[in-house]
Every structure is written in C-alpha cells, then in structure tokens.
Amino acid sequence: MSTVQTTLILLKPDAVQRGLMGRIIDRFESKGLQIVGAKLMQIPRSLAERHYEAHRSRPFYPGLVRFMTSSPVMALAVRGVNSVAICRRLMGATFGSNAEPGTIRGDFGVSNSFNLIHGSDSPEAAVRELELFFAPGEVVDWTRGADAWVYDLSSGTPE
C-alpha cells in the first residue's frame, strides 16, 4: 500500500562534527524523499531523555543521553511513500561495525554507539518523535515539482 509518511531523522553529533550532514542528506534527496523540516539544534537533556525513554533501563542509556546532548544535531522531517521503512533501510543496521556497505551507517562509520543517525522505527514512533522535535508550523507542507517524475501519479495515488 502506498501511504505517504513523514519520519523523524536526527543527524547525531558525530555526523555534524565530522562534516557529513550534506552527504547524508544527499542520500535521502537522491532516493526521491522530500525534506519537509530541517533545523540545527542543541538538544536539552530533558528532550534526549524523552526521545530515548524506551531505552531508559538499558546500560547504554546514560552514555546515549550524554552523547546526544554533547554537541548539536540536525533534525529532519523526511516525507515520502513508506518513508519510515525506506529511511531505516537507507540508515542500515544499528552498529556501524556490521552495517552493510551502501547504507549510511555502513559507509560512514565503524562505531556502535557513535552511529551517525537516528530514524523513527514505526509510523507511530514517527508521529511521537516529530512532535518532540518540531513545533507546529516547522514542518513545511510544500509541493515538489519533481514528484511527477519521482512517482507514477497516473492512478491518482503515488506509485
């Protein structure tokens, strides 16, 4: 089924510090996904804790919160048909050490905790996480001319 979704992507502090923002955003744009929100931000501790609250009891949680608040991140809202799953596949496996070549984590990193990127793992998580990172109006609903060539629109829905 072709459902247009918007997902939250975070370029983590290591991606920003290593100057990889442009090359990572290029992966999403080249794939045909649409950027509908973008901002560089320093995450307050409370936001990092809420964002990763499902991992609160895990041993890596304190270090993860420290990492995510150590330096700016870039938050992106990325839209497209099935964008949640497509973004997860573009990102690759969680650990840089075994992420497949061709994926963002596979091509740009080796670390298991400094793994460059976050992406929502379900449509429900995407809704929750976009609300955490983007205020109303910060996600911009804009019409992309290229949609007519990115998708087959002949049936009335993007295929």
Question: Would you name the residues annotated as active-site residues?
Answer: 118
Report the residue from 47, 70, 72, 112 that binds ligand IDP according to the rule CB under 6 A: 112
Angle (nearest 5°) at CA 31 between 116 and 90 = 35
Give the tokens for residue 29: 């744009």
Site string for Mg ion, 115-144 (x = CB under 5 A): ------x-----------------------
C-beta of 116: minimal distance to ligand IDP in Å? 9
Report the residue from 41, 46, 60, 149 that binds ligand IDP according to the rule CB under 6 A: 60
Q: Which is nearer to ligand IDP, 77 or 104 (CB)?
A: 104
Give the tokens for residue 135: 């205020």
